[in-house]
Chains A and B, each alone.
Chain A
Amino acid sequence: MLTIEEILETIKMVQEEKLDIRTITMGISLRDCADADHQKACRKIYDKITRLAGPLVKTGEDIAREYGLPIVNKRISVTPIALVAEASSEEDYCKYAATLDRAAAEVGVNFIGGFSALVHKGFTVGDTRLIRSIPGALSSTERVCASVNVATSRAGINMDAITMLSRVIKETAELTAAQDSIGCAKLVVFANVPEDNPFMAGAFHGVGEPDCVINTGVSGPGVVKSAIKRAGSADLGALSETIKKTAFKITRMGELVGRTAARRLNVPFGIVDLSLAPTPAVGDSVAEILEEMGLERCGAPGSTAALALLNDAVKKGGAMASSYVGGLSGAFIPVSEDSGMINAVNEGALTIEKLEAMTAVCSVGLDMIAIPGDTADETIAAIIADEAAIGVFNHKTTAVRIIPAVGKKVGDQVEFGGLLGRAPVMAVNGFSSEKFVHRGGRIPAPIHSLRN
């Protein structure tokens, strides 16, 4: 029998510590929708998404009410569109993006991910067309998210793709300048991208996935922070234990919701992504966890060590709680989506360089960072290359979601609203990387890629 303390603990987590299920994401394969005629392909895509995801939002809402657990987002990820659209002779893939946007609106999800290409080793015709279509697609749609994988530990780092994407990012920023360059908040450049990530903006449905699948992403930075607070002056080993136990409980909720949703929707259950995903709400912040651990501000010396402890403990506790763990799994450190990170930047405690170091031990990378709109393309490319190098050479996923906010200078703010939050414009190292970037080509895979 459950004890009253256990029941109250769960209720407190939801009501006071903002425990929620961040997303139920339905992965849908669109491989069977490819067609030489792009209009036919778009019709097949629209029909398949609306057929499979039709009951998704209602099912999520039902589960949220019955379990008393908020499920913040219901979303869809699809096969990288470059793979689907390539069969047609159409060069402008914005039509595919418009179809995804329409289907997402019809079923009521707030984001649909998969306007994507995998180019870590090189480009096909479809990949190039997709990347060229990204600025148009992101500026003309509301719900579509794009991602491009430019590097893997097996293939190395495709510098030509990175250069191309740095221009795409700038162009997307220009086209959405009226909304603080929000288009860039929906574009992720990855190294070692996972194929079952339920979190936006980087979600897509990988080629090894089944026809349709349900993945869930949990959250709960507030719960972890409260647990650390209760642990008082415990040493770091004891703190790790506390975080593990808390991560276990959080992840169990993701497992329960994912399995229930999959059963009700009659599709296979994929994975739980056991990430700590912050929101701009106070008390729902990864930065505040690090501060609760004893740092005056996130970004102070010791931040990387504290984040490493946190990330590892979350994985250890979470792995025990779910039979299938996947996605990004770890602590996210986006700036604009985390009130503690925003404060740390505003107070001068957190710089891009310190964030870069922290990405070596977190689950993703330089995420939701606003930089001056006049930052050189080559500098953006070099920032992406640095981040990809951390991922490729350490066998982990890294990503860059950077916003060169048009017309903004260091210290200005950009406002996206909602879960995307607001971001202070951060200073970028002004020395040039131009000659390095323009060499182009592919940085070979590291020696430990040969461990076969």
Chain B
Amino acid sequence: MVSQKSKTESNRIVISVIGPDRVGIIAGVTAILAENSVNILDINQTVMQEFFVMVLVADMAGAKVDLVKLKDLLALKGDQLQVRIDAQHEDVFNYMHRI
């Protein structure tokens, strides 16, 4: 069933970072992605009210870890940086916002 899954599902994920702005957020997140061979396709960042918001689209096709493991690594980094980091499969957003 795993092989069927990888054939039919895309590997793109959306990583979101939300929290108070501080030094090292982008470096911290991208380092984890590089260490695990997750390829960054697009980075977008903005400041909404006083919050730093970064959204990153990445491809996990060559990744060394699965999404669940990557989420754990990012969440741990988020705790250190005192920001909220989450990774979700891109389909969630495409299904909701694209027909």
Contacts and interface: CB of A to CB of B under 8 A. Distances in A.
B93 A66 contact: no
A317 to B, nearest CB: 12
Interface in B78-93: 86-93
B67 A256 contact: no
Interface in A49-108: 62, 65-69
A253 interface: yes
A286 B90 CA distance: 30
Q: For the complex, would chain B's binding face be called helix, strand, loop or mixed by DSSP majority?
A: mixed
Contact of B71 (A65, A260, A264): A65
Given A66-B67, A66-B68, A264-B1, A2 B88 contact: no
A1 interface: yes
B67 A266 contact: no
B68 A253 contact: no
Given A2-B14, A62-B68, A65-B68, A10 B96 contact: yes
B22 interface: no
Interface residues of B, number: 31
B96 A252 contact: yes
A53 to B, nearest CB: 15
A364 B87 CA distance: 37
Contact of B55 (A4, A69, A249, A260): A4
Q: For the complex, would chain A's binding face be called helix, strand, loop or mixed by DSSP majority?
A: helix
Given A8-B53, A68-B86, A1 B91 contact: no
Interface residues on A, range: 20 to 34
Interface in B55-99: 55, 57, 67-68, 71, 86-98
A263 B92 contact: no
A67 B92 contact: yes
Nearest to B42: A1
A4 B95 contact: no
Interface in A187-227: none
B91 A67 contact: yes
Given A1-B57, A67-B91, 13 more contacts: A1-B42, A4-B44, A7-B16, A8-B16, A66-B88, A67-B88, A68-B89, A68-B92, A252-B96, A253-B92, A256-B95, A260-B9, A263-B5
